[in-house]
Structure formats: structure tokens, C-alpha cells
Amino acid sequence: MAYFDAASAAPLHPVGRQALLAALDEGWADPARLYREGRRARLLLDAAREAAAEAVECRPDELVFTPSGTRAVHSGVEGALAGRRRVGSHLIVSAVEHSSVLHAAEVHEAGGGSVTEVAVDRTGAVDPAAYARALRPDTALACLQSANHEVGTVQPVAEVAEACRAAGVPLLVDAAQSLGWGPVAGDWSLLTASAHKWGGPSGVGLLVVRKGVRFAPQGPLDERESGRAAGFENIPAVVAAAASLRAVRAEAAEEAARLRDLTERIRTRVPASVPDVEVVGDPQRRLPGIVTFSCLFVDGETVLHELDRAGFSVSSGSSCTSSTLTPSHVLRAMGVLSEGNVRVSLPPGTESEDVERFLTVLPRVVAEVREKLGAPVAAGAAEHTAGGSGALVVDALGRRCPIPVIELAKVIGDVPVGGTVRVLADDEAARLDIPAWCEMRGQEYVGEEPADHGSAYVVRRLS
């Protein structure tokens, strides 16, 4: 089985495993106690904090361990907003932040605060100038991930941090995906991360608050972790997290170069071997191990199941893999195709042979899924010589992705050049995937119109 979902959780690093087992014997006592076992536990905790701080490039007393990366984000956002409540209650986030950040923003807005969501371009990157324009006199906090978890795009953190610093606004960076590859550049104020993303154990997060940043921990007071993370520290897991972070950093330069070669192989060969594919994310400014692509005319959940049967564990941002049947907020913000989305995130140590096998299996899997759904067999196959009326209506109400787009592709050739097709659909994914199909096929997306049920998506044939 080839595990290609390291962006969700990386396998436990061998060094982390060794540290965890050793710390189970040595680090079980209360580090706040003065007797021998407590002092031993305190030494382990302090050493882990120093190692993690060295990797982050911060002071040890600026870093605390939290029960998870999500908890680190929530505590960081809440504490920074509360610490600057006299300034105002305006929060800035990007449209592609991790859900933990966006959920914290929703809670803040529900409590009376205001939130500005900065848009991204088609590669998933923010424009630093857009962040600068979003800053206001009442801005209490800005948030920006270091790199995107779904498409791997690296964000211009240093430039955004410079704009925030000039305005006197702290910037919180979610570094969950990138910290294992290196420290985050720029003059940021707060940082969060999660150990299971770099090969540490789950249940350990990092929260860094730079000295001088106004911060007011929320919730009942607790004497542990500087009052910023309540509860008894999980010292064995913390020790393993720090040990694995140090280990992956030591290997990062060599492994990054190797994984970039493998992901570039996927980025290049998938569109060449699978028709109607859009590779998404920035082709240059991206993390080493993540490559994401979307396939027209396939059900993302079925593709993932078939790849699993073939021995590959991958992830997806497709609407069809979500219980809400709505597209990934990241793909939606980028304006790219969401149906048939596949995220391949290679863990360190991935073998070239596994990638080659994946590239051999994928075309067959996609072709079989398309055949089952009755999709066009190749780009342009449905665009035969037109001789019909100048307008058609496709009723795809009650039908989920990717059926509305398949039906559109089948009939676009039935209208003359300049004619239109109105697709009636009540699937949220159609709002994203029909414009994306037009972008890929060189047709004009006219827009969305209200309908008795769902919406009407109007497409004009250009070729």
C-alpha cells in the first residue's frame, strides 16, 4: 500500500517513535513537582521546548505546547483578539485558510466582531497588496497560512508580515504544513503548528507568541504552559514531537529536492496521460510533496475508492467526498475545477517505484469511472457539427457532480457557435465546476440566473 496523504498526517518518524517509547518510561510524572520524578519530567519538557524553539527560530519562553494544532489556532486567535480589544475587533483572514482559522473567524463574527476575507488568485496565492488594503485602524489581528494544505501553494508571508508590521497589526501564521521543511520567514507575531503534519505524534500543537505581542489567554486560568494551554502536559508525545521535528529538519534539504522531482513527474505526466485534467496550485511556489489535480467527468469519491483498491491512499477536495456535498472552500476560492479532485501528498521516503505505479494505474481508474458515468470519452468528442437551435436547456436538477457538467459537455455541440446552453442544477458544485469547464474548454460562461428550482448556469458556445 502506497500512502500518499502526508498532508493529512505524516507517518510517525522513526526518531519520534524511539523518543516516544523512551519518554514513556522517563516522562510520566508531573513536571510541576520538585521530587526526583517531577524534576526528570521537567528536564524532558524543557529540552523539548528548546528543540522546538530552535526549529521555529523563537525564544523557548515564547513557545507553548497545546493538545492539538487546532487548539493552538483557536487559542492564538482568541488570545490575540482579546489582547487588542481596545484597538478594535476587526480580523483579516485569507479565503483559503485551514478550517480551524475560518471557524475561529466565524465565532468571532458571531460575537460581534468583523471579518475581512482576502481573496486569492487561481494558483491559491494571496496578493500582499490586498492584505495591506484590508488593514484598518481597528484591525486587531491578521491571519495567513504559510502554505496551503490542499494545493501546496506557498504564501508570501514575509511581504504580508511587513505590511502588517508597518500598520502595527500582529500577524498569526498557521505553519502546520510547512514547519517540517523549514522556519517561516518574515516578521510574524504569532505562529501555530501541529506535530502530526511533520511526522510527530498526534495530539501535540505549538503556539508561539512573540515577546511584546499583546495577548490575553481566554477561558479559566491555568498555571501550566504560561497560562496559554490548560491541562497536564503529555510529555512523552511532546518529546517525540520535538525529536521528530529536529530529525525531519536534518533531512529536509535532501528530501525536499527528491520529492520535488517526484511531484513534478506527477504534474507533468498526469495531464499527458489523462484527458481533461486541470493541475491546480502554483507550479513553482509550492511545498515539495503536494500535487493536486482535478479530472473532468468523474466522481471524486469513486476515484478515491478505486485508487484505494489499487493500493494508493490519497485525499481529495472534491464536493463528492464531503458530507455537505459542497466544494472545498479552497478550490472554490481559487475558481478551479472541484470535481474529480485528487490530492497527492508524498511523505518523506516515498519510493520512485510507487509514483511510477500510481502514474500507470491512474489513467485506467479515471477512464473506468468516466465510462460508468457515461461521460464523453475525450475532449471535444461531444462537440459534433451543430445544426440545431441557438439555445438548449439541460435539466440536471437533483443530480450530483459530475453529472451536470457531463450533460453540458454532451450537448454543447448541438447549438451553433454563438448559441447558449442553460444548465438547470441544484448542486452547489455546479456553481464552481461549470465555469471551470468553460475555462478548460474555451467556452464562454455567461453567468448564473435564478430558476424555479436551483439555478440556471448559462454557457455560450465559442468554438
Closest CA to 62 of 191, 222, 199: 191
Q: In what order do the strands lie in the sheet with 391-395?
A: 391-395, 420-425, 455-460, 444-450
Q: Provide the grid cell at 324.
A: 455537505
CA distance 42 to 98: 33
Active site (annotated) includes residue 143: no
Element (H, E) at 103: helix 99-110
Cβ 92 vs Cβ 131: under 8 Å:
yes
The type of residue at 403 is: I
Cell of 262: 517526484
* Full DSSP string of 371-395: HHHT--SSTTTT-----S-SEEEEE
- Residue 12, number of CB atoms within 10 A of its CB: 17
295 and 342 Cβ atoms separated by less than 8 Å = yes
Give the active site residue among 58, 143, 164, 320: 320
391-395 and 341-345 strand pairing: unpaired
CB count within 10 Å of CB 153 equals 28
- How many angstroms separate the Cα of 329 from the Cα of each of 72, 142, 318, 428? 22, 19, 10, 12
Nearest to 45 by CA among 57, 22, 27: 27
Reported as half-sphere exposure (CB side, CA atoms, 13 A), residue 300 has a value of 29
* Rounded distance between C-alpha atoms, residue 322 and residue 291, angstroms: 20
Catalogue the active-site residues. Answer: 320
